[in-house]
Amino acid sequence: MALTLSKKAMAVKPSSTLAITAKAKEMKANGIDVVGFGAGEPDFNTPENICNAAINALKEGFTKYTPASGTLELRKAICEKFKYNNINYEPNQIIVSNGGKHSLTNVFSAILNPGDEVIIPAPYWLSYPEIVKLADGVPVFIKAGKSQSYKITAKQLEEACTDKTKAFILNSPSNPSGMVYTREELEALADVIVKKDIFVVSDEMYEHLIYGDEEHVSIASLNDEIYKRTITCNGVSKSYSMTGWRIGYTGSSKEVAKVMESVQSHQTSNPNSIAQKAALEALVGSQDSVLAMKKEFEERRDYMTEQINNMKYVSALKPQGAFYVFVDVSETFDKMYKGQKISTVDNLATILIEDFKVAVIACEDFGFNDHIRLSYAISLKNIKKGLDRIEEFLNQLS
């Protein structure tokens, strides 16, 4: 046989968010003054107490294999953390992984058989469909537009279920829309999930980054029936500014956890031992840094949403969580820039980076071909500079 490669692996789309961020970094390295709104990670350092825990782990020689599912002390701490979400898990229901993405990979490897459908509400985080496909699943998209605050309804979920549906992905707060589902909305979705007897993969990665009066509700906490069907995914990456440390975790039924543990034991043995000690400190140590980061994000969010909604041709709902503003740019289509029509969101993003030195994420890969995503995980100074440049571009449209 010729040296052919895996069709499944080759069908995976490269991450466009990482690509634009890399392009902006490259331009910066070449001395170009680019404002990058692509960031998918907080711009704060990992808090000192967390770094110190890792240094101590090294000094104490905590540098060997750990149990595949993570150390017992960390899994116990995660159980305590889940109590704040009103969910009771025991340590053997917890799998610590090498980051949120890895948890999702474990989940879909554990629950999917070839051809099983996974319902993904659009807009969605671009990795979901690719991770599902890699586990032989079939992504099925339901669109939730701006008029419904980018959140799907129970009716839409019910209508999308077929006899092949295995799971539904819920992401609240959402990347990219920043929207948060209310308790009532979750209750209605949970009723459908229980009725259709499917899993819900609840990605709560941005749980701590919720602003104003919104509350985070974990769907697993609603009742025993939904608890059995929920795989709650979380991690330390976004809340504790620990994106490089690679620690994610799940809470699920013992049966699902056991299969994920076996899969992980062969694929990676265990999550990094030092990073596990750091994650433990993140969960049990002072939460002051989370609050400080949240306060700063909230100020940036308020400023950014207001500015965007004062510009012509673009608008955005005020995000309730995460650190992204999801901007509707549909009105720019068919407008002229330098004698050419703006035709697609990619076209718009290319003009912005090339002519105005602003990197934005075109959201085609997030299931919305007329929106861009702007991250506010950059300084207020840069936000101001970048928004001025976007406005300058909009003012040139005719």
Ligand X SMILES: Cc1ncc(COP(=O)(O)O)c(C=O)c1O
- Residue ranges binding ligand X (CB under 6 A): 40, 99-101, 125, 171, 175, 203, 205, 235, 237, 243, 248
Which residue minimizes CB distance to ligand X?
100
Structure tokens at 117: 């459908």
φ and ψ of 234, to 5 deg: -155, -175
Other Cβ atoms within 10 Å of 380 Cβ, number:
13
> At its nearest, how many Å lie between ligand X and the CB of residue 384?
25
> At its nearest, how many Å lie between ligand X and the CB of residue 338?
34
Whichever of 178 and 386 has its CB closer to ligand X, that residue is: 178
The four Cα atoms 81, 84, 87, 90 give a dihedral, to 10 degrees, of 30
Whichever of 82 and 323 has its CB closer to ligand X, that residue is: 323
Whichever of 264 and 332 has its CB closer to ligand X, that residue is: 264
Whichever of 93 and 103 has its CB closer to ligand X, that residue is: 103
> At its nearest, how many Å lie between ligand X and the CB of residue 11?
21
d(CA 356, CA 390): 7
d(CA 27, CA 36): 10
Q: What is the DSSP letter of 347?
A: H
> At its nearest, how many Å lie between ligand X and the CB of residue 243?
5
Structure tokens at 92: 């053997």
> At its nearest, how many Å lie between ligand X and the CB of residue 311?
26
> At its nearest, how many Å lie between ligand X and the CB of residue 31?
29
- Give whole-number Cα distances, 395 to 35, 388, 390, in Å: 19, 10, 9
Whichever of 205 and 222 has its CB closer to ligand X, that residue is: 205
d(CA 270, CA 290): 27
Cα 117 → chain centroid:
21
By residue count, the chain amounts to 398
Whichever of 100 and 386 has its CB closer to ligand X, that residue is: 100
Q: 196: part of which helix (H) or strand (E)?
A: helix 183-196
